[in-house]
Chain A
Amino acid sequence: MKRKNLTRLILLYLASALFLIVFIGPFVWLVSSSFQLERQLVKVPPVWLPDPFSIESYKEIFMGAFFDEAYASAYGVSSSYQSRIYLGSFLNSLIIALSVSFFSVLFGAYAAYPIARLDFRGKYALLFSILVVRLVPALALAIPIVLFAKQMGMHDRLITLIFINMSFVLPYTIWLLQAYFKTIPSELEDAGRIDGCSRLQVVNRIIIPLSIPGLATTGILAFLLSWGEFLFALLITETEKSYTSTVVAAMFATSLDVNYVTIIAAGVLAVIPPVVFALFFQKYIISGLLSGAVKN
């Protein structure tokens, strides 16, 4: 029996190792590549580990953003346009993702409460249409939205992107929060009602304080969804005033005149916020993802 257990464990670890290589390997290779020098990066066969360990690629991006002239005089070449605007685009992405996350959780919570707790006509129609909204292809919405934005002079602005990103984040937060609210015992609410609280007070004083973990999970998922958004950002932004990190990352990826190392470093930088978030809050995220998926 013991022997059988040992073979079982060995097989499980072999399978785990295989999956780890397939699913984490590419990412590790990207990070490792970003610490190489350009001349090592273009060697055939590849140099497997960075030697020497170099941060030149990150230097171009950081110095390009803050001390472009110093960079140009030190290296004899100016940093690329993408490098110079990349950190600024990060700030834009951050502003957008944080605002979208905050407002979708706020508005989502009030919209989710009646779905979770009240009986009213059209409740299931509302729930189903929220699900359908999440399935509408962004490309179908993008055409009219771009036209509207141009006509109203709202293109190339962060606020427009914040607003538009809610179109796909809000249905998601409503869905997650109504599932979460259902897990709160209604006795607590009844006690509040007997003490003379109005529905609004019940939500503000009982439901919301008790849902902090659920609200936080939802906020994190909303942040991640918004951080990775590309299509609307591509179509709405026109200058570095509003470029997001995904738009500039795509510029890096499709450009021919930038060092490979810099392109790779740009990729690594763009995944730092979401990956750190994901690993740091993994328990919440997994529970959030699952509760959102449970049908009913």
Chain B
Amino acid sequence: MAKNQSTEIHSGKLALLFSAPALLILIVTVVVPIFYAIYLSFHRYKLKRAKRPFIGLQNYEKILTDSGFWESLATSLVFAVSVVGVIVAVSFFLALLLDQDFPGRGLLRALLLIPWAIPDVVNALLWKWLLHPAFGIMNALFQMGGLIDEYVAWLSSMPSALIWVIIAYSWKNIPLATLLILAGLQTISKSLHEAAMVEGATAWQRTLNITLPLLRPTLTVVLIFETIFALKVFDLIYVLTSGGPGKSTTVLGWSIYINTFKKLDFGTGSALAMILGLLTLFIAIVFYAFLDRGERQ
């Protein structure tokens, strides 16, 4: 017993020693900044003013009573729920397809890595070109298909800007979700499907009654991670819409950027960032509880 304890202490020291460089970097680049951001959020900190007094919760109070904040929160939630819905639905069908055995599926899976590998900024540039109001291929295709009479300025019209941002974001993020769901599918034993087939179950019934329930843990993980990442969206908005037209694509991330680096109000910006962080943390905790419950069952 005593010996065990001493090896455990020894292991602890060793662990600390081995991870010291990594921990040091994370402390400097993550832990200290978080605490400083919390500090800033309790101060009136505008770059142009020399006085930066402690003001308690006033930044938060100002944000929570500002209708602009609630609008950007709503936009963020609409964005997150939509992209997660699109990503999970499309990825599920794409993964079902890639789970079939047919010549060429390896190639399809490899090509799917292309959207995933494209940096967000370039993804935005790509969609900006596809959606160009005068020369965009989307306009040409939609006109050929008879869906529109005249070319549309997609990114500067009201509901369409948000819809296209949702599509552009989903397009890049579906491939990874697909690979994760595919990995989940491949852990489901084929014999279950074969047994159901003998009983005369159709493909649809098998998907509904075997695949979906067994895939639930994977789908939960994908769902929650995608939600958290969608709430942080920034790069795409920066290049595609700058939060517009009006404020229709002003998500929380964009609002933080504008408050901090355009209005140079670091106090309010930090408080907003804290709110986004808490929202993320809340979702992470819900996620943890879900997984924990799932494991105990």
Instruction: Please give the residue numbers on chain A whose beta carbons come within 8 Å of chain B beta carbons, in ascending order.
Output: 9, 12-13, 15-16, 19-20, 22-24, 26-27, 29-30, 33, 41-46, 107-108, 110-111, 113-115, 118-123, 126, 128, 132-133, 135-148, 163-164, 166-167, 170-171, 174, 199, 203, 224, 227-228, 230-231, 234-235, 246, 249-250, 252-254, 260, 263-264, 266-267, 270-271, 274-275, 277-279, 282, 285-286, 289-290, 293-295
Give A271 Cβ to nearest chain B Cβ, in Å: 5
Contact B25 A23 (CB under 8 A): no
Q: Which of A24, A107, A263 contacts B129 (CB 8 A)?
A: A263
Contact B37 A23 (CB under 8 A): no
Q: Which of A143, A246, A285 contacts B119 (CB 8 A)?
A: A246
Across-interface contacts of A108 in B (CB, < 8 A): 22
Give A101 Cβ to nearest chain B Cβ, in Å: 14
Give A48 Cβ to nearest chain B Cβ, in Å: 9
With contact pairs A110-B22, A120-B15, A136-B277 given, residues A27 and B126 touching in the complex (Cβ less than 8 Å): yes
Kindly state the separation between the CA atoms of A90 and B105 in the bound complex, as whole angstroms: 34
Across-interface contacts of A142 in B (CB, < 8 A): 260
Whether B297 is near chain A, meaning CB under 8 Å from some CB there, is: no
Contact A250 B117 (CB under 8 A): no
With contact pairs A141-B37, A275-B114, A289-B176 given, residues A111 and B277 touching in the complex (Cβ less than 8 Å): no
Across-interface contacts of B273 in A (CB, < 8 A): 137, 139-140, 143
Instruction: Please give the residue numbers on chain B whose beta carbons come within 8 Å of chain A beta carbons, in ascending order.
Output: 8, 11-12, 14-15, 18-19, 21-23, 25-26, 28-30, 32-34, 36-37, 40, 94, 97, 100, 102, 104-105, 108-122, 124-130, 132, 134-135, 137, 140, 143-144, 151, 171, 174-176, 179-180, 183, 217, 221, 228, 231-232, 234-235, 238-239, 242, 253, 256-257, 260-261, 266, 269-270, 273-274, 276-277, 280-281, 284, 288, 291
Across-interface contacts of B143 in A (CB, < 8 A): 45
Q: Which of B32, B130, B256 contacts A139 (CB 8 A)?
A: B256
Contact A143 B260 (CB under 8 A): yes
Give A204 Cβ to nearest chain B Cβ, in Å: 11
Kindly state the separation between the CA atoms of A249 and B288 in the bound complex, as whole angstroms: 38
Contact B120 A228 (CB under 8 A): yes
Contact B29 A27 (CB under 8 A): no
Q: Which of A12, A119, A275, A285 contacts B97 (CB 8 A)?
A: A12
Give A237 Cβ to nearest chain B Cβ, in Å: 13
Contact B119 A121 (CB under 8 A): no
With contact pairs A23-B171, A123-B15, A174-B22 given, residues A285 and B221 touching in the complex (Cβ less than 8 Å): no
Contact B36 A253 (CB under 8 A): no
With contact pairs A12-B97, A114-B14, A279-B110 given, residues A139 and B232 touching in the complex (Cβ less than 8 Å): yes
Closest residue of B by beta carbon distance from A163:
B29
Could you write out 20 A-B pairs with CB less than 8 Å apart? Answer: A16-B108, A19-B108, A23-B175, A29-B137, A42-B134, A45-B143, A111-B21, A121-B8, A136-B277, A138-B232, A139-B273, A141-B30, A147-B266, A170-B26, A230-B120, A246-B121, A252-B125, A254-B242, A274-B118, A290-B180
Closest residue of B by beta carbon distance from A130:
B26
Contact A19 B25 (CB under 8 A): no
Give B50 Cβ to nearest chain A Cβ, in Å: 14
Give B205 Cβ to nearest chain A Cβ, in Å: 17
Contact B171 A277 (CB under 8 A): no
Give B200 Cβ to nearest chain A Cβ, in Å: 16
Q: Which of A27, A44, A164, A274 contacts B135 (CB 8 A)?
A: A44
Give A251 Cβ to nearest chain B Cβ, in Å: 10
Q: Which of A123, A140, A227 contacts B37 (CB 8 A)?
A: A140
Kindly state the separation between the CA atoms of A137 and B269 in the bound complex, as whole angstroms: 13
Kindly state the separation between the CA atoms of A289 and B127 in the bound complex, as whole angstroms: 26
Contact B239 A111 (CB under 8 A): no
Contact A111 B19 (CB under 8 A): yes
With contact pairs A23-B115, A164-B29 given, residues A271 and B11 touching in the complex (Cβ less than 8 Å): no
Q: Which of A141, A234, A263, A277 contacts B34 (CB 8 A)?
A: A141
Across-interface contacts of B291 in A (CB, < 8 A): 295
The 7 A-B residue pairs with the shortest CB-CB distance in the complex, in nearest-first order: A228-B119, A114-B15, A111-B19, A167-B29, A278-B117, A111-B22, A140-B273
Give A140 Cβ to nearest chain B Cβ, in Å: 4
